[in-house]
Structures are given as C-alpha cells and as structure tokens.
A and B are shown apart, each in its own frame.
Chain A
Amino acid sequence: MTDDRGCFRRRDLLRGVTLGGSGLLLGGCDVMNENATFRSALRGAEKLNQMTHRTLADRAALAPEYAMSDISPVFKTNGSLTGTSTDYLAHLQNDFADWRLRIDGLVANPMDIGLAALRAMPSRTQITRHDCVEGWSAIAQWQGTPLRLLLQQAQLSPRAKYIVFHCADNYGARPYYESIDVIDAFHPQTILAWGMNGETLPIKYGAPVRLRVERQLGYKHAKYVMRVEATDDLSKFHGGKGGYWEDVGDYEYYAGI
C-alpha cells in the first residue's frame, strides 16, 4: 500500500517534470503529441499549407509530366491488389462488360456509365509521378477520362463541395474510399484512369478505373472506383474524415505534401 502510493507519487512527480519541462524532452514531446490543444494547433498548419499551395500555384497548374524513358521499370504495387466486394468479383469474371460507374449525389443528372462509354469520351494521357506518403515514388503513364467532363455531364450542383470515390476493395476490415474537393476534381490532370503504360489498367493497379489526382499523395488515388458521389458534407461517410487513411491512420485530408 505504502509502496504503491510511493510509486504513484514518483510517477506524478516524473510526469510533472516532463510536462513542465522545455518540451525538448522526449517524454515532453510524446505528452504534447497526445494533447488535444497542441494537436489541433499542428492541424492548423495543414490548412496553412493548403492555403499557401493554392496561393502559390494556379488552380490549374500542372504536376510535372515525364518522358516515356522516365517510366519506372516496375511500378510498386501498394494497398489492395484487387477489389473484394462480391459485386466486383462478379464483374471481374465478366471482364467488366456489364460494369457501370455510378455518378450521383449532388448532381442534377445521376448516371451510370460503362467502361466502353468511358473510353469513348475525350481522354487525357499523362506520364506522372506517384508519391507515397511513406516517401517512395514511381512513374507511369496513365490514360483516362477527365473527371471534370463526367461531373459536367452529370450536371454537378453548385452546392457540391467534395467528390467522394467509393471503392470495391476492403482494406483490413473497412471499405476503401477517398474524396477530394471540387477544385481538385476539376483540375485538368484529375482523371479516372482505365489505361496504364499503354495497356488496359491491370487489376493490381485498380481496374477497371482508378483516380489520378496528380498534385496529391498516393492514398488519395483511389483504386477500384465503383461510384462517384458529390456531396457538401464528408462527415456522413464512414469515419467522417473524408477518406480511408484519414479515418484509420489520421493522415491529412489535404495530401499536397
């Protein structure tokens, strides 16, 4: 009993010293890392970074594009390597012949569009660099339909602020999803890609279509996209932070760094 109390006091004292310390102390940094006020202050910098990027770069400023000779010999696969929903697996058996991309939410003209119709639309081909939040990069050529054209065809409501991408893969136990804001959705390099390095997009890279949103990190580039939903409120989807990694890993919503 006495010993316990002694221990407790010592722990309190230690805690006090670390908390009261300069913050340079390791323990101090960990304590601050768990502190809600401090965390929200750090989060403020995320907004500042996004604002700065949008001020320094034009809304339509292009991500650098590379030459064929710059393409990575092997593009590292990451995340899910196939869609997992029963729906998806059935389409996979059928080579996505009956697969339809659903576009709905805050649009006047909800639509379902098949792979052949998507490919028949004007497309964009770009050789770009994929940057993972972990630090590695890989370069590939992507061909796909500009998201802008699809949103215009679906008559996006002016109330829409975000575009949510619902995916066919579960990563861990949870369904993958991602979202971007309307500014990035209308960027010329933001495409739903169905081709990669001159071929049909392979399964492990997100077939039948995956998102490319070139000025942001890899986790934003949702694979196995089944449905595109326009919304003005991200809090109603899954964990409410706008994306799988935002919910699960606490990564930034704005992935420009």
Chain B
Amino acid sequence: MDATQYMTQDVAKRHRLSTRIWHWLNALVATIMLMSGLMIFNAHPQLYWGDFGSREDYAWLQIDDTRTTGFVRIGDVSFETTGVLGLSLDAKDNVRRVAFPGWATIPTAYDLAAARRWHFAFAWVFALGLTAFMLVSLFNGHIRKDLHVRRAEWRWAALWSDIKDHARLRFGNKMNESHYNIIQKFSYIGVIFLLLPLLILTGITMSPAMNAAWPWLLDLFGGRQSARSLHFIGAVLMILFVVAHLIMVLLSGPITGIRSMITGRAMPKSKPDQGGRRP
C-alpha cells in the first residue's frame, strides 16, 4: 500500500475535537491550578483530619525545616528533603524556608494573595471545562463508545493480560486496535469521574461561604480540614496520573500520540512500526 491508500483507507479519526480542546486546555489549566495550589499550601504546610486543625493540633502531614535541613513528615515518619521540600535555594542561591520551592509555584516568590487569585479564577475554567467535556462526551458517544468498560473487559483474566501487556510495553487493545485498553479506560474514568470531581468538590468545601450554602459537603468529606487533606492527596494523585500518562506517551510513540491529540487523526494501524500503539 502506498501513502495515498493509507490516507483513504486506514486513517481513522482518533480524537474528537472536543477531546482535543479539553486535553490541551486542561494541560494548561491543571498546571496553573497545581502550581498556584502549591503556593497556597506553602502558607500553612500542614494537613489534618476532621473539622479543625492548626499549629496547636496534630498534623498527619508536615513539610517544614529545622533551619538547616528540610523535611517531610507523614505520621511519625520523617524524610529529609533538603534542597527540594521544606528548605531550598532560589535562583539567586538564597536559602528559602518554604515547603515547595519557587520553581514549582505560581508566583515564584511567596505571595498567598496572588496565588489565591490565580487559583480561584482558573478554578472556573477547570470546573466548567470538565462539566462541558462530560456533557459533550455523554452526547457524542465518547463515554459510551470509548470509555465504557465492556462486559468482556470486566474480568480479572482480561485485566491481568492487559497488565502483562503493559509490562512488556505492548500497548493497545486486543479486541479492537482503535480503542482504549482496559487499564487506560479505568485510568481515564477514574480521573474524569472521580479524581477531578473530588478536587473540585473538596476545593469548594474549604470555602466558609459555601459551607453555609452547601453544608452537606462538610458531611461528605468529614470536615473542612479533611477536605483540605483530600484536596492535597487528590493533587498528588493527579501528578502521578500525569507522570504515568507522559511515560505512556513516550513509550508508545510520542510523535504519533501528540500529533493525533493535535490533528485528531491516527496513523494507519497496519503500518508495522506503529504496531497499533497509542497513548
């Protein structure tokens, strides 16, 4: 087959326009939310469970410094993290006693008020973007056709064989090359329908005004400080997802993957060097 035939016969639409717009918008907005969120965390780098929690109470997580070293404490276990967390050098080699270093925060220098403005403005884009994506995906069949875990896939054997394939760096879907595999489906469903809503709802739960409007949120998450802890844990899970996602893109053919997320078109699946791999 020559190139023309690929174009006419095998080039399939891989990603819908709505998916592509949301993907790149989220890449930007999630980064802003994460970095401004880390600055907000720097204002009080401790986490608690329950309704209240301050320097007077037991924190299950603390990122702090001893003036000479930085550390992270989770429960009773401490890790030294000098140079990155708790204590680090800024671009001019000044020692900064902050939980997350300037290169990871928006803005770079400590400024809680500015970080809050970024966070609470882009939160709207983040939340409305997710809602719009969910609605569009519901109506255009993205959820039903691509994300829906089919009966045959709800089997340990199928999942186990998918895990083995991933371990061998063989990606794709045995049943249908142009579809997401089981691990992919679970990851995307988990992020879209659990993790992102968790981040948004725990965020709203931290607002004292919203507590008056929707007091049930406090019951749902077990109190304001629990919501703050879950918000932070959600952000960590989000980072892990993005890291895993980027590794998979790299392993499964980054050029094809990125191009398809920009143009929407897949490479022909029969082309040998592509092997039906997809991020």
Contact = CB atoms under 8 A, between A and B. Distances in A.
Interface of A: 22-24, 26, 29-30, 33, 39, 41-46, 48-49, 53, 56-57, 61-64, 66, 70, 72-76, 129, 131-139, 214-217, 249-252, 256-257
A48 B128 CA distance: 14
Contact of A66 (B32, B51, B112): B51
Contacts of A256: 207-210
B210 A48 contact: no
Contacts of B222: none
A53 B43 contact: no
A43 B44 contact: no
Interface of B: 28, 31-32, 35, 40-41, 43-44, 46, 51-57, 103, 106-108, 111-114, 116-118, 120-121, 124, 206-215, 218, 224-225, 228
A53 B224 contact: no
A59 B106 CA distance: 34
A157 B113 CA distance: 33
A22 B56 CA distance: 43
6 smallest beta-carbon distances between A and B, as pairs: A256-B209, A57-B213, A45-B121, A135-B44, A136-B54, A74-B56
A56 B213 contact: yes
A57 B52 CA distance: 23
A48 B121 CA distance: 9
A30 B108 contact: yes
A29 B51 contact: no
A250 B113 CA distance: 6
Contact of A251 (B107, B113, B118, B121): B113
B106 A33 contact: yes
Tell me if A's interface is mostly helix, strand, loop or mixed: loop
Contacts of B215: 64
A250 B210 contact: no
A64 to B, nearest CB: 5
Nearest to B124: A45
14 contacts: A33-B106, A45-B121, A49-B120, A57-B209, A62-B212, A63-B211, A66-B51, A72-B57, A76-B56, A135-B206, A136-B52, A215-B209, A251-B112, A256-B210
A56 B204 CA distance: 12
B113 A249 contact: yes
Q: Name the residue in A23, A43, A61, A64 with the highest tally of chain B Cβ atoms < 10 Å from its Cβ.
A: A64
Contacts of B52: 70, 72, 129, 136-139
Nearest to B125: A45
A216 B208 CA distance: 6
Contacts of A42: 117-118, 121
Contacts of A49: 120
Contacts of A73: 56-57
A257 B207 contact: yes
Contacts of B225: 136-137
Nearest to A189: B212
Contact of B124 (A48, A72, A138, A250): A48
Contact of A76 (B55, B118, B124): B55
B28 A24 contact: yes
Nearest to B28: A24
A73 B48 CA distance: 15
Contacts of A137: 51-54, 224-225
A204 B53 CA distance: 19
A29 B106 contact: yes
Given A33-B106, A63-B212, A134 B117 contact: no
A215 B44 CA distance: 20
Contacts of A64: 211-212, 215, 218
